[in-house]
């Protein structure tokens, strides 16, 4: 999936299909959705009538048959180009979604009916059905594990080769169709109707059937329609003005002027830009449930990020052993390792690892006959009882302290200082005791992901506030927040804290995005303006959010914000470009209209175009070919640079505004030089 990013913008088979679609889309009922191109289609039809009339009657007062035919063809090509832009964007989106869908189509499913197991095709599975998957099976449908545990290869969806564990109950119970079970056996309940999975919904969005215009798109369409209307008046009133000046203007010239002036460039590319936005999200392995969600992502003011996995790597790691006074380091480390032997938590494992770095290996220790004590919420500690009766415990400092004081031992001051020091450095202290004597402290540290500071800095420049959500105590949270460079943090967070924070921000007029996976995240995901659910998350979370991230990558939010911004920027810059183009087009066509009857106006022909006919043809040819030239930009999106809004405006205004004024002067002149060779 990932490598498709590098694929070319125009794969051959998509181009052929899109070419076909460009003609299919000529159907006026389909064109009507795009008012600007629809008007172009109407005038093209008028041009067709004029062409036929000039052929039949032989009257050349409306220009020669050849000239009219040429104008007609160029206008038709303009529409086809616009249709092609939309078609190729659709085709790319569809191809991307299809390749995701293909992985899950037509795989055999082991359906449970009562006690029997029947093999059916995956397409026959209905919501509520229960099927079984064993090692080596491909999971036939999205669902929720109701029994068992399995390691699953999700690389088909996420591109990540390391297998993941999924088990019944809790937040890791959901499986995705198309992924592969590597070990063990699970019983899965189907959660979606066939044809209603998120992917199916996304494909429908791309295909246009259920594609709705986003609020910004509507506002822009209104503005463009307004411009179009004004140019209807500008061109329509020109007829009596010309009559007054005894100038005859051909219908072809009127239509050419009109088509050149109305914003066809942005009009033709508008829907392609929108589709490409969703497509880019999909390429980032994010399924969006509406085009609006992508657009909203660009407006996000506040980003809620979970500390673990987003800001820090997985879990805490042991970084240092601090033996208490009078305790030998070697024996302290040994004791620590003993206490962590059966501790399967990442913290426990990291202690063993750190011990190995200190030269003490687990299998050198004599552990036979020892009894492992598991961590419980009541004792808040774990450890080991050795055969000799020695009890080693490690745990939160207050738990161990209580235990040791209960046995009548003093809590050493230097240990208290150590605990204080570690906490204020953002670490978590684990206090270790042997037979209720405190023998030292292990420091656990959060490891901040490399490069995350730069990403937060980038977000800050975009104007996005980052908020870290963590279960840690405020002191640790503050330390990590400062170190990672987030703007705010929620410490000792409960699920409702997230919700309250989102509501508070929204009351201040801000748009909030968050990512979540658990069922208890669902209300907050629904409340957030952009809620991204992880694909590994529960069904409830996925239903509540408006995007699903197939990679389960918490830093994805940052990418999504940029995709949203790119989408808006592409629209804005191409609108500017389209409108700026008008300056040159006026200077190409207006002198051409009047130069014959009012020779005094010759100095207005500042481009020195060859003849009135060549000027008009050059202008409409430029107007047509600029659309395919800009298709790659529309599909890829204008690059976002977090340099502050004013600098960004200046930059884009220079490139697309000034460029939009100059480019057509150069382009039209060049085309005119070529056209004049044939005239």
Partner 1 sequence: MNTEILGVVAQIVLLIVISYPLGKHIAKVYKEGNDCMRFMAPIERFIYKFAGINPNEEMDWKAFLKSLLIINVFWFFWGMILLVSQGYLPLNPDGNPGQSPDLAFNTCISFMVNCNLQHYSGESGLTYFTQLFVIMLFQFITAATGMAAMAGVMKAMAAKTTKTIGNFWHFLVISCTRILFPMSLIVGFILILEGTPMGFDSKMTIPTLEGAEQTVSQGPTAAIVPIKQLGTNGGGYFGVNSSHPLENPTYLTNMLECWSILIIPMAMVFALGFYLKRKKLGYTIYGVMLFAYLCGVICNVHYEMAGNPNIDKMGIDQSCGAMEGKETRLGAAATALWSVTTTVTSNGSVNGSHDSTMPLTGMIEMLNMQINTWFGGVGVGFLNYYAFLIIAVFISGLMVGRTPEFLGKKVEAREMKIATIVALAHPFVILIFTAISSYVYVYHPNFVESEGGWLNNPGFHGFSEMLYEYTSSSANNGSGFEGLGDNTYFWNYTCGLALIISRYLPIVGQVAIAGLLAKKKFIPESAGTLKTDTVTFGVMTFCVIMIVAALSFFPALTLGPIAEYFSIY
Give the residue numbers annotated as catalytic, written as ranges.
306
In the complex with partner 1, the residue whose CB is nearer, 65 or 501, is: 501
- Can you tell me the distance from the alpha carbon of 210 to that of 33, in angstroms, rounded to the nearest whole number? 13
In the complex with partner 1, the residue whose CB is nearer, 16 or 662, is: 662
Question: Is 491 in contact with 281 (CB distance < 8 Å)?
Answer: no
Per-residue contact flags (x/-) with partner 1 for residues 535 to 574, judged by CB under 8 A: -----------------------------xxxxxx-xxx-
With left for phi above 0 and alpha for psi between -120 and 50, is residue 53 left, alpha or beta?
Answer: alpha
**Binding to partner 1 in span 464-493, by CB under 8 A:** 464-465
In the complex with partner 1, the residue whose CB is nearer, 349 or 461, is: 461
527 binds partner 1 (CB under 8 A): no
**Binding to partner 1 in span 161-220, by CB under 8 A:** 215-216, 218-220
In the complex with partner 1, the residue whose CB is nearer, 476 or 570, is: 570
Burial 84-120 (b: 16+ CB within 10 A, else e): bbbbbbbbbbbbbbeebbebbeebebbbbeeeeeeee
222 binds partner 1 (CB under 8 A): yes
- In sequence order, what are the residues at sequence separation of 6 or more whose Cβ sits closer than 8 angstroms to the Cβ of residue 474? 491, 492
528 binds partner 1 (CB under 8 A): no
- Which of 101, 402, 460, 483 is close enough to bind partner 1 by CB under 8 A? 460
The structure tokens listed for 645 are: 């809004």
* Minimal distance, residue 478 CB to partner 1, in Å: 23
**Binding to partner 1 in span 77-96, by CB under 8 A:** none
48 binds partner 1 (CB under 8 A): no
Select from 134-142, 382-390, 505-513, 524-532 the region that touches partner 1 (CB under 8 A).
Answer: 505-513
Size of interface with partner 1, in residues (CB under 8 A): 75
596 binds partner 1 (CB under 8 A): no
369 binds partner 1 (CB under 8 A): no
The structure tokens listed for 66 are: 């050849």
Question: Is 625 in contact with 663 (CB distance < 8 Å)?
Answer: no
- Which of 233, 377, 406, 677 is close enough to bind partner 1 by CB under 8 A? 233
- Can you tell me the distance from the alpha carbon of 466 to that of 555, in angstroms, rounded to the nearest whole number? 12
Q: Which helix (H) or strand (E) holds 183?
A: strand 180-183
- Can you tell me the distance from the alpha carbon of 411 to that of 407, in angstroms, rounded to the nearest whole number? 11
Report CA torsion sign: 630, 632, 637, 643: negative
In the complex with partner 1, the residue whose CB is nearer, 256 or 382, is: 256
Q: What's the DSSP call for residue 601?
A: G
223 binds partner 1 (CB under 8 A): yes
290 binds partner 1 (CB under 8 A): no
* Minimal distance, residue 216 CB to partner 1, in Å: 6
- Which of 76, 157, 462, 627 is close enough to bind partner 1 by CB under 8 A? 462
In the complex with partner 1, the residue whose CB is nearer, 68 or 575, is: 575
- In sequence order, what are the residues at sequence separation of 6 or more whose Cβ sits closer than 8 angstroms to the Cβ of residue 141? 104, 109, 122, 125, 131, 177, 188, 190, 192, 194, 197
* Minimal distance, residue 103 CB to partner 1, in Å: 33
* Minimal distance, residue 251 CB to partner 1, in Å: 16
- Which of 66, 108, 226, 474 is close enough to bind partner 1 by CB under 8 A? 226
**Binding to partner 1 in span 375-414, by CB under 8 A:** none
In the complex with partner 1, the residue whose CB is nearer, 48 or 655, is: 655
604 binds partner 1 (CB under 8 A): yes
Question: Is 284 in contact with 414 (CB distance < 8 Å)?
Answer: no
How distant, in Å, are the alpha carbons of 203, 274, 300, 552 from that of 533? 19, 22, 16, 8
240 binds partner 1 (CB under 8 A): yes
- Which of 110, 461, 478, 503 is close enough to bind partner 1 by CB under 8 A? 461
- Can you tell me the distance from the alpha carbon of 575 to that of 216, in angstroms, rounded to the nearest whole number? 13
How distant, in Å, are the alpha carbons of 280, 302, 321, 547 from that of 502? 27, 9, 40, 17
């Amino acid at each position: 999936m990932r490598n498709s990013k590098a694929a070319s913008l125009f794969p051959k088979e998509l181009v052929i299909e899109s070419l076909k679609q460009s003609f299919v889309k000529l159907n006026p009922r389909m064109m009507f959705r795009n008012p600007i191109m629809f008007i172009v289609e109407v005038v093209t039809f008028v041009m067709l009538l004029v062409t036929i009339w000039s052929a039949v009657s032989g009257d050349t007062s409306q220009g020669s048959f050849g000239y009219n035919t040429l104008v007609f063809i160029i206008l038709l090509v303009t529409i086809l180009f616009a249709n092609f832009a939309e078609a190729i964007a659709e085709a790319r989106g569809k191809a991307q979604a299809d390749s995701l869908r293909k992985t899950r189509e037509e795989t055999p499913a082991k359906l449970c009916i009562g006690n029997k197991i029947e093999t059916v095709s995956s397409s026959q599975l209905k919501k509520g059905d229960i099927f079984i998957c064993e090692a080596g099976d491909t999971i036939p449908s999205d669902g929720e594990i109701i029994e068992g545990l399995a390691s699953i290869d999700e690389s088909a969806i996420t591109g990540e080769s390391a297998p993941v564990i999924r088990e019944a109950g809790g937040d890791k119970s959901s499986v995705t169709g198309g992924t592969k079970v590597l070990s063990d056996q699970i019983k899965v309940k189907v959660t979606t109707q066939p044809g209603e999975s998120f992917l199916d919904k996304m494909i429908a969005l791309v295909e246009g059937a259920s594609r709705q215009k986003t609020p910004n798109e509507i506002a822009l369409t209104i503005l463009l329609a307004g411009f179009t209307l004004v140019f209807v008046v500008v061109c329509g009133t020109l007829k009596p003005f010309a009559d007054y000046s005894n100038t005859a203007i051909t219908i072809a010239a009127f239509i050419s002027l009109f088509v050149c002036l109305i914003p066809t460039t942005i009009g033709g590319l508008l829907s392609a830009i929108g589709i490409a936005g969703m497509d880019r999200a999909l390429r980032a392995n994010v399924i969006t449930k509406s085009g609006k969600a992508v657009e909203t992502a660009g407006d996000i003011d506040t980003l809620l990020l979970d500390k673990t996995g987003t800001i820090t790597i997985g879990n805490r790691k042991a970084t240092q052993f601090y033996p208490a006074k009078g305790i030998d380091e070697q024996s302290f480390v040994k004791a620590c390792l003993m206490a962590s032997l059966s501790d399967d938590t990442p913290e426990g494992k990291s202690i063993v690892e750190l011990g190995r770095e200190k030269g003490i290996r687990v299998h050198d220790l004599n552990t036979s006959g020892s009894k492992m004590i598991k961590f419980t919420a009541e004792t808040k500690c774990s450890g080991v009882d050795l055969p000799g009766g020695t009890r080693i415990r490690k745990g939160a400092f207050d738990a161990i302290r209580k235990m040791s004081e209960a046995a009548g031992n003093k809590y050493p001051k230097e240990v208290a200082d150590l605990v204080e020091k570690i906490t204020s450095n953002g670490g978590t202290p684990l206090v270790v005791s042997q037979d209720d004597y405190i023998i030292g402290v292990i420091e656990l540290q959060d490891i901040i992901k490399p490069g995350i500071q730069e990403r937060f800095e980038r977000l800050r420049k975009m104007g996005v506030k980052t908020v870290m959500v963590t279960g840690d105590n405020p002191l640790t949270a503050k330390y990590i927040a400062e170190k990672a460079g987030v703007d705010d943090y929620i410490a000792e967070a409960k699920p409702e804290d997230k919700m309250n924070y989102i509501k508070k921000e929204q009351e201040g007029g801000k748009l909030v995005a968050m990512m979540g996976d658990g069922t208890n995240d669902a209300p907050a995901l629904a409340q957030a303006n952009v809620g991204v659910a992880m694909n590994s998350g529960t069904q409830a979370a996925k239903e509540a959010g408006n995007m699903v991230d197939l990679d389960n990558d918490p830093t994805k939010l940052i990418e999504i914000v940029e995709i949203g911004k790119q989408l808006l920027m592409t629209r804005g810059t191409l609108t500017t470009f389209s409108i700026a183009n008008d300056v040159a087009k006026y200077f190409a066509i207006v002198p051409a209209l009047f130069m014959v009857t009012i020779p005094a106006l010759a100095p207005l022909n500042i481009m020195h175009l060859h003849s009135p006919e060549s000027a008009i043809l050059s202008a409409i040819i430029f107007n047509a070919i600029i659309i395919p030239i800009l298709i790659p930009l529309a599909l890829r999106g204008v690059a976002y640079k977090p340099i502050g809004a004013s600098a960004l405006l200046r930059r884009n205004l220079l490139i697309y505004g000034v460029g939009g004024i100059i480019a057509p002067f150069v382009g039209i002149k060049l085309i005119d030089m070529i056209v004049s060779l044939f005239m």
